[in-house]
């Protein structure tokens, strides 16, 4: 086990990668923030970032693509009321930083300078949820190619009906440094990896696809023989099951969502509607409903950025705030939204550690970390057995959501028709259509099989959900 890198070590790593090579020091950052704050803005911050990405893909027995990229720069932001001024540069020199500071301070209504003493530097508290390892360097190129070849070899050996295997391996090393106008400095070193497996199986001229994969914030040695075999087994099993699938029925019916990845429906159809900016502007279906019942009893939804090694977890968010475990819905009652600094200030609440940036070239917004529903007291078998006639969806493909209304459309990539509590046969072409807030009120049974992940939920029974099918 690689030790988690402590707060001061991460700060030293960030300064050596993002400041020292360009002749910058923390005092330069304080001076730049002082230039911005001298025009009477409400808040300001600097966000330095360097990101290295690597990706490999295998198809038809050969590694067809390999990519590597480096991106680095700084984003400079000033906030005045509800207005934001933002500038960014991929040049980390003092001249560029000062120029960006002068540009964004013009947002102030005061329009004239005054002397401002920026508080002394203070290191922000942060968590240590994952190792500060560079995952790209945890395997050499030959080992990465061999890993993908192993995936194909195992999948082909699993069943003769597997005719094509596609595998992808991705690794990212992200270093960020945040300096805020209140003197706070915070840094993070974020590894991220993923292995994806897709197989195509053929039987009697019919072809079907199955997929699996996973990853998180650690080195590539996470993908040991056992983990790779698990992904391969899941992908092949999904493809073979789909070979036997019949057209899905359509209509309004009981739908049971399996645990794990079907939580993407919760993430997309409900989670986005609980983000602070949409609620402050009144454009979310959950706006103005704090303290009201928005879901069936027993439904508790969390956004938790503190789970070790998970993809959505953060030691600090992209504004330098410590990640948190936030209760959004408790026993069906709406308790709060996820917030960044600006929306929290405007709504009169505290930030929740959810300020997220697409990169240094983008402003932060309140966005999810790991969003999941807590478990109940029913076994998955008991929930499936309760279905007189309905659908049991165990995996999802793509989908679309309207955040304003909560309406969603999701396609089930793995689903089964159930009658009298017994699984009859797999179906394909099932599409779930509904409204996220409304679907939460229709939850009638909650499973005891939750495993907190990036997106997740226990097995759920939802009554009266519309299924678009092909039968």
Q: What is the pLDDT of residue 238?
A: 94
∠ Cα 187 192 195 (to 5°): 180
Q: Say whether pLDDT at 2 is over 70.
A: no
Cα(413)–Cα(410) distance, integer angstroms = 9
Least confident of 36-40, 217-221, 402-406, 417-421: 402-406
Q: Say whether pLDDT at 415 is over 70.
A: yes
pLDDT in tens, 280-296: 999 998 999 999 999 99
Asked if 405 contacts 260 with a C-beta cutoff of 8 angstroms, the reply is: no
Q: Which two tokens stand for residue 414?
A: 């793995």
Q: What is the pLDDT of residue 423?
A: 97
Give the SS3 label for residue 244: coil
Q: Say whether pLDDT at 217 is over 70.
A: yes
Q: What percentage of the chain exceeds 70 in pLDDT? A: 95
Q: Under 8 Å CB-to-CB from 319, ≥6 apart: which residues?
A: 45, 178, 180, 340, 341, 351, 355, 364
The candidate with the shortest Cα–Cα distance to 291, out of 335, 339, 327, is: 335
Q: Say whether pLDDT at 119 is over 80.
A: no
∠ Cα 373 374 375 (to 5°): 120
pLDDT in tens, 226-275: 999 999 999 999 999 999 999 999 999 999 999 876 677 777 777 888 99
Q: What percentage of the chain exceeds 90 in pLDDT? A: 78
**Helix (H), strand (E) at residue 207:** strand 206-216
Asked if 179 contacts 119 with a C-beta cutoff of 8 angstroms, the reply is: no
Q: What is the signed CA dihedral for 19, 23, 24, 25, rounded to 10 degrees?
A: 100
* Beta bridge pairs of residue 467: 251, 432
Q: Say whether pLDDT at 399 is over 60.
A: yes
Q: What average pLDDT does range 63-88 have in this prediction? A: 93
DSSP 371-431: EEE---SB-HHHHHHT-SEEEEEEEEEEEEE-TTT-EEEEEEEEEEEEETTEEEEEEES-E
Give the SS3 label for residue 78: strand
Least confident of 55-59, 370-374, 389-393: 370-374
Using 50, 70 and 90 to split pLDDT, how confident is the model at 92?
Answer: very high
pLDDT in tens, 7-53: 899 999 999 999 999 999 999 999 999 999 988 899 999 999 999 99
Q: Under 8 Å CB-to-CB from 422, ≥6 apart: which residues?
A: none
* Beta bridge pairs of residue 180: 45
Q: Which two tokens stand for residue 331?
A: 């026993």
Q: What is the pLDDT of residue 110?
A: 59
Cα(349)–Cα(364) distance, integer angstroms = 17
Cα(396)–Cα(435) distance, integer angstroms = 17
Question: Helix (H) and strand (E) counts for the chain?
Answer: 10, 22
Between residues 60 and 265, which one has the greater pLDDT?
A: 60
From residue 457, give the alpha-carbon distance in Å to each of 266, 301, 377, 461.
8, 9, 13, 11
pLDDT in tens, 330-386: 999 999 999 999 999 999 999 999 999 999 999 999 999 998 899 999 999 999 999
Between residues 470 and 441, which one has the greater pLDDT?
A: 441
Q: What is the pLDDT of residue 1?
A: 39
Q: Which two tokens stand for residue 170?
A: 């991705």
Using 50, 70 and 90 to split pLDDT, how confident is the model at 115?
Answer: low
Average pLDDT of the chain, as a whole number: 92
Q: Which two tokens stand for residue 155?
A: 């999948």
What secondary structure letter does DSSP report for 348?
T
Using 50, 70 and 90 to split pLDDT, how confident is the model at 5?
Answer: confident
Q: Which two tokens stand for residue 365?
A: 């917004």
Using 50, 70 and 90 to split pLDDT, how confident is the model at 215?
Answer: very high
């Amino acid at each position: 086990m690689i030790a988690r890198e402590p707060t001061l070590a991460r700060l030293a790593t960030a300064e050596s990668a993002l400041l020292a090579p360009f002749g910058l020091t923390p005092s330069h950052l304080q001076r730049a923030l002082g230039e911005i704050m001298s025009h009477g803005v409400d808040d300001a911050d600097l966000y330095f970032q360097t990101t290295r990405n690597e990706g490999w893909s295998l198809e038809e027995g050969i590694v067809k693509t390999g990519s590597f990229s480096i991106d680095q720069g700084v984003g400079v932001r000033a906030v005045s009321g509800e207005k934001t001024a933002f500038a960014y540069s991929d040049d980390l020199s003092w001249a560029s930083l000062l120029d960006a500071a002068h540009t964004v301070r013009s947002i102030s209504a005061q329009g004239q300078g005054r002397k401002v003493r920026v508080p002394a530097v203070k290191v922000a508290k942060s968590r240590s949820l994952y190792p500060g390892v560079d995952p790209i360097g945890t395997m050499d190129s030959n080992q990465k190619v061999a890993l993908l070849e192993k995936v194909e070899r195992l999948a082909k050996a699993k069943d003769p009906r597997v005719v094509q295997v596609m595998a992808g391996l991705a690794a990212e090393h992200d270093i960020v440094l945040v300096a805020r106008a209140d003197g706070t400095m915070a840094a993070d070193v974020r590894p991220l990896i993923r292995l994806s497996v897709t197989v195509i199986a053929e039987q009697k001229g019919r072809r079907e696809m199955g997929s699996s994969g996973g990853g998180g914030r650690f080195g590539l040695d996470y993908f040991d023989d056992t983990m790779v075999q698990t992904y391969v087994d899941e992908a092949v099993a999904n493809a073979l099951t789909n070979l036997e699938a019949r057209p899905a029925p359509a209509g309004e019916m009981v739908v049971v969502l399996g645990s794990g990845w079907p939580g993407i429906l919760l993430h997309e159809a409900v989670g986005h509607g609980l983000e602070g900016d949409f609620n402050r502007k009144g454009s979310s279906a959950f706006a103005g409903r704090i303290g009201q019942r928005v879901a069936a009893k027993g439904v508790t939804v969390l956004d938790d950025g503190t789970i070790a090694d998970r993809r959505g977890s953060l030691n600090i968010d992209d504004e330098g705030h410590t990640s948190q475990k936030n209760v959004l819905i408790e026993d069906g009652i709406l308790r709060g939204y996820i917030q960044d600094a600006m929306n929290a200030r405007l709504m009169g609440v505290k930030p929740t550690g959810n300020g997220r940036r697409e990169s240094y070239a983008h402003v932060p917004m309140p966005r999810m970390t790991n969003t999941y529903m807590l478990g109940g007291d029913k076994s998955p078998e008991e929930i499936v057995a309760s279905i007189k006639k309905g659908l049991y969806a165990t995996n999802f493909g793509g989908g679309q959501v309207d955040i304003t209304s909560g309406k969603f459309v999701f396609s089930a990539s793995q689903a089964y028709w159930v009658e009298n509590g017994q699984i009859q046969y797999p179906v394909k072409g099932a599409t779930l259509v509904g409204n996220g807030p409304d679907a939460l009120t229709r939850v009638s049974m909650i499973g005891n099989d939750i495993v907190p992940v990036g997106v997740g939920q226990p097995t759920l029974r939802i009554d009266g959900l519309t299924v678009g099918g092909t039968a």
